[in-house]
């Protein structure tokens, strides 16, 4: 057992432990930056979305079924992860840049939030050029809610999104729940169905604006009969 008294034995042992720890950390970082551990989204059905209860944000809120948003003309709807998040404000501003084209198509732009905290929705409105409603039961974030916790802060894509939004002049705060991931929907009128469903896979994973417009242009408006015109 004389080798135990050799200082080089302990030095080699410490190096081995250190190398193993570094290797494990590198592997964990690598896996965190793949989609392996990301929550898999469950596609929503039109019937699921239609039955969601939404509320207006007035002093005396009115409750209505979500299908009223798209029943006649279709709609583009943003499910906001957190109104005070600067990444969400960036995406809201991006979607709002489509408003003139959506107006030409006769398609409204809406947003839903999952909570109404202090002045967060009011502070969000300068970034979003459409009406905003409350989804208290967080149904637009389902059918199976997905969360990104602290793993998000070791993902390179998230840090890229942080820098992109910051360099674009967006700022925010930490008010409210921000771990349940959001998304964007384009829904056709009547029973045309869901034409686009973008589910945020990580913080700041924005919808492709070209895809939104392409989906919006597929919306088929109900034909107005001659008797209805009269």
Set 79, 80, 88, 196: catalytic member: 88
Tokens of 134: 């409350």
Set 52, 85, 181, 186: catalytic member: 85
The CB density around residue 141, as the number of other CB atoms within 10 Å, is: 23
Q: Under DSSP, is residue 184 helix (H, G, I), strand (E, B) or coil?
A: strand
Q: Name the nearest CA neighbour of 111 among 142, 136, 89, 79.
A: 79
Asked whether 89 and 173 are in contact (CB, 8 A), the reply is no
Asked whether 192 and 114 are in contact (CB, 8 A), the reply is no
Respond yes or no: is residue 218 known to be catalytic: no
Respond yes or no: is residue 185 known to be catalytic: no
Token match 């489509």: residue? 98
Q: What angle do CA 37, 93, 88 make, to 5 degrees?
A: 30
Catalytic residue positions? 85, 88
């Amino acid at each position: 057992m004389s080798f135990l008294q050799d200082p080089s034995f302990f030095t080699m042992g410490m190096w081995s432990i250190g190398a193993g720890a570094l290797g494990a950390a590198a592997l964990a970082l690598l896996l965190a930056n793949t989609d392996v551990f990301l929550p898999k989204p469950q596609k929503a059905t039109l019937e699921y979305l239609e039955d969601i209860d939404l509320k207006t944000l007035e002093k005396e809120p009115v409750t209505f079924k979500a299908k009223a948003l798209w029943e006649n003309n279709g709609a583009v709807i943003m499910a906001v992860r957190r109104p005070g998040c600067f990444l969400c404000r960036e995406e809201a501003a991006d979607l709002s840049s489509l408003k003139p084209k959506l107006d030409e198509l006769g398609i409204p732009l809406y947003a839903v939030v999952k909570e109404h905290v202090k002045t967060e929705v009011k502070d969000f409105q300068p970034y979003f050029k459409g009406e905003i409603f409350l989804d208290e039961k967080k149904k637009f974030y389902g059918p199976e809610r997905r969360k990104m916790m602290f793993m998000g802060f070791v993902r390179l894509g998230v840090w890229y999104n942080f820098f992109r939004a910051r360099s674009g002049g967006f700022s925010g705060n930490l008010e409210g729940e921000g771990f349940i991931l959001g998304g964007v929907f384009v829904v056709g009128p009547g029973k045309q169905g869901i034409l686009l469903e973008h589910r945020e896979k990580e913080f700041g994973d924005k919808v492709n604006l070209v895809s939104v417009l392409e989906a919006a242009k597929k919306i088929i408006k109900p034909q107005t009969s001659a008797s209805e015109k009269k």
